[in-house]
Amino acid sequence: MATSKIFQHGTLGLLVPGLYDGTITAGELLTHGDTGIGTLDGLNGEVIILDGHAYQAREDGQVREIDATETLPFASVHFEAPQHTAKLQQLNQAAFQQQVQADYQLTNVFAAVRVDGLFKHIKTRVAPHQVKPYQSLVAATAKQPEFEGTNVQGTIIGYFAPHLFQGATVGGFHLHFLSADHQLGGHLLDFEIDQAQLKVQNFADFQVHLPIDNADYLTEKFDNATIDAAINQAER
């Protein structure tokens, strides 16, 4: 059931003041897409969704598959049907992002980006599990475990969004990683591609599904300047 849209539950902005309660089940999320990224209830780690399976990279470095009943405050998914594929080799993160944005004219476009292959170097971080009363995103992610690997086989999955949508989501690239052996995962901080295959999927439609039954969401006073600064600090 391929559709040409991104389905996003929640906003990146709602994480900024600390609205970390899960408001959609993984089971429901997976009815809207088989591929994507997110975080779990309580900002508990980094979520990577590949081929219809959702995984959690935990702050202790373990990776596990998520049960259908677990909940997420924020996630983006789509059904994988890439329009473009290409072979990549010997590219660092900055060169990769510049090349992909230019080659596929992504600047004003929503796109999913997937890279499968061998990576010379991978560096991830994993948001630590929060308990109530929740701290802000910047405070919650001020100290977070980082993980590194060299010569790792695995998959980068994530999105490019136009900067106009910073706050609703992350403007620019937002990428997660999962190794093929499920020993390394998380939010990508740095990487270097050895040999890999790139898939790019453009979307004309960006669907935002809001947690309108969540009392904290309904009463929060969101501030755009705070959200923008927090995303730049916590999500890049």
Rounded to a whole number of angstroms, the minimum distance from the CB of residue 189 to Zn ion is 10
Residues 6+ apart with CB under 8 A from 152: 118, 119, 122, 179, 184
**Cβ closer to Zn ion: 78 or 187?**
187
Binding mask 186-215 for Zn ion (x = CB under 5 A): -x----------------------------
**Cα separation, 127 vs 139, whole angstroms:** 11
**Cβ closer to Zn ion: 117 or 186?**
186
Rounded to a whole number of angstroms, the minimum distance from the CB of residue 106 to Zn ion is 18
**Cβ closer to Zn ion: 32 or 187?**
187
Rounded to a whole number of angstroms, the minimum distance from the CB of residue 188 to Zn ion is 8
Rounded to a whole number of angstroms, the minimum distance from the CB of residue 177 to Zn ion is 10
Cis peptide before 133 (omega within 30 of 0): yes
Residues 6+ apart with CB under 8 A from 20: 39, 41, 42, 43, 73, 130, 134, 140
**Cα separation, 187 vs 175, whole angstroms:** 6
| 114: contact with Zn ion by CB under 5 A | no
**Cβ closer to Zn ion: 187 or 199?**
187
Closest residue by beta carbon to Zn ion: 187
Binding mask 162-191 for Zn ion (x = CB under 5 A): -------------------------x----
The 63-65 sheet, strands edge to edge: 63-65, 53-57, 46-50, 35-39, 74-78, 5-9, 205-209
Cα dihedral across residues 102, 106, 107, 108: positive or negative: positive
**Cα separation, 144 vs 63, whole angstroms:** 16
Rounded to a whole number of angstroms, the minimum distance from the CB of residue 219 to Zn ion is 26
**Cβ closer to Zn ion: 114 or 187?**
187
- The binding site for Zn ion (CB under 5 A) comprises 187
